[in-house]
Amino acid sequence: MRNIRRSLGLGILWVVLSAAPALGSHGGDGTGPPPVIQPEVAQRLIEAGEQLIFIDLRSAKEFQASRLPGARSIPFWDILKRYREVPRVGRVVLYCDCAITELQDPYRFLWEQGYRNLSVLQDGFTGWTKRGYAVER
C-alpha cells in the first residue's frame, strides 16, 4: 500500500511539475525551453509501472548499439518527415546525446504540430547510462 501511495504521489508530482513549464514559461506557444525530466524521476515512474515513450533522436547506428528501454528511433534529421510516428497520447520523452539546447528545435517543431505531451531527458543518453539505469542492446 505504501508503494502504491508513493507511486501515485510521484505521478501527481510529475503532472504538476510538467504542467507548470508547459503553461508558464512557454506562454502557451512552445517558444520557451522545453520541460525537462530528470533521469531519476523517469526511472521512478518506470519502476512505478508508468510506460514512458522514449524517442531517441540519435543516429540509427547509435540506436542499434544501445538505447533506453522501449525507445523508438527517429533520428534528429528525420523528425520533420517522421513526426507523425510520435504518439500524441502518453508521456513522450525526447532524448539524444547532446545538450538540451539542441533539443529545442525538435521540441518546438513537435509543439507546432500540436504535441503537448513532450519533455526532454536531462543529461540525455549519457546521463542515463552514467546513473546505471537499464538499456537495451
Contacts for 73 with CB less than 8 Å, ≥ 6 apart: 56, 58, 60, 63, 67
Residue 135 lies inside a defined structural domain of this protein: no
Number of H helices, E strands in the chain: 6, 5
What is the residue-level pLDDT of the chain in tens, covering all 137 positions? 444 444 444 444 344 334 333 323 333 467 888 999 999 999 999 999 999 999 999 999 999 999 999 999 999 999 999 999 999 999 999 999 998 889 999 999 999 999 999 999 999 999 999 999 999 99
Cell of 44: 521512478
Residue 125's Cβ-count burial label (10 Å; 0-12, 13-18, 19+) is buried
Task: Judge whether 108 lies within some domain.
Answer: yes
**Domain with 111 in it: what CATH number?**
3.40.250.10
Domain carrying residue 24: 2-130
Q: What pTM was computed for the model?
A: 0.79
Please, are residues 79 and 57 in contact by the beta-carbon 8 Å criterion?
A: yes
